[in-house]
Structure 1
Amino acid sequence: MAGASISIDYSFPDKAIAARLRALVDAGEDLEPAFIDIGEGLLNSTHDRWDQQVDPESNPWEPLDPKYQARKKKNADKVLVLEGFMRDTLAYNTSSQSMEMGTNLIQGATHQFGDEDRGIPARPYLGVSEDDEQMIIDTLYEHFQDALR
């Protein structure tokens, strides 16, 4: 092999150890069951934060511009809520090696990152809070624990 490489060989004369190690490797090759649980957890926590109008670090979203708020007919006291449609488009997709979450609405990026040219501040709604991080760790731990049972 040209360049540099690394090889790890794991072979054990003890069949029980080899079987358990193989189970861990297999569990690492198909993380979709864990990613589904993680996706559900992140979706729930994102919905909760949306309802509380805070970012993943629990900072309140930037308030609405008073001029916009004055002409807003519905939900004038709510940020990122007109009809409640965008919140309900949040979804996740999983595979054996990945999980992604977001919205397919173009304004989702504007609200997440802001738009200086139009005077729209960033109001992050996607992200991983400390509680989310712990949920992810716990879920992955459980996934690999299940593989050893």
Structure 2
Amino acid sequence: MAGSNISIDAGDANPIADVLDQIVQQGRNLKPAFSQVGEYLVESTQDRFQLELAPDGSLWDPLAPETIKRKNGDTRILRQSSTLVDTILYDASDDMLLVGSNMEYAATHQFGREADGITAREWLGLTTGPWDDEAFILDILSDHLLS
């Protein structure tokens, strides 16, 4: 190769090879890291529920006047019985993390249902802005892979 270069030999007894091997080994057992991420995302999602915020930091659309009337003046959004927020769970394995709720109406509130006049109020997702879920998740994974 013309010019200037550096050669790194990642053979045996090389610190770089040792770190790469460690990352590969830790990457085969991601369940502990995914469990930690799951715990964090459940809590983060529940915190946003209390603030009635979408993951992008925007406020959920307010309730329609007829909905407030039906709820006897209760203006809390998606928390009449707190069932949805209380059923946010995670399931972690070595190669997958699922976070969400098994309630039938969870998707309806996440995406809305135009035919029934139900506004989408996105409650599930990675938070941006002041609470940066992605940065926290990357820290967890980095700590796991390099521990």
- The TM-score, its normalising length taken from structure 1, stands at 0.84
- 2:138 corresponds to 1:124: no
Percent sequence identity over aligned pairs: 37
Amino acid paired to 1:144 = L
Q: What RMSD over aligned residues (CA atoms) do the two structures have, in Å?
A: 1.7
Deviation at 1:14, TM superposition (A): 2.1
Match of 1:104 in 2: 102
**Deviates most, 24-33 or 87-96:** 24-33
Where does structure 2 lack aligned partners over 5 or more consecutive residues? 1-8
What do residues 50-98 of structure 1 show as CA deviations (whole Å, max 9, x unaligned)?
Answer: 000010011110111101111213x711010111111100000000011
Q: Separation in 1 of the partners of 2:16 and 2:59?
A: 50
- Decide which of 73, 76, 79 is 1:78's aligned counterpart: 76
Deviation at 1:104, TM superposition (A): 0.4
Q: Separation in 2 of the partners of 1:128 and 1:84?
A: 21
Amino acid paired to 1:32 = K
SS of 2:146 mapped into structure 1: helix
Match of 1:140 in 2: 141
Where does structure 1 lack aligned partners over 5 or more consecutive residues? 1-9
Higher helix share: 1
Paired residue total: 136
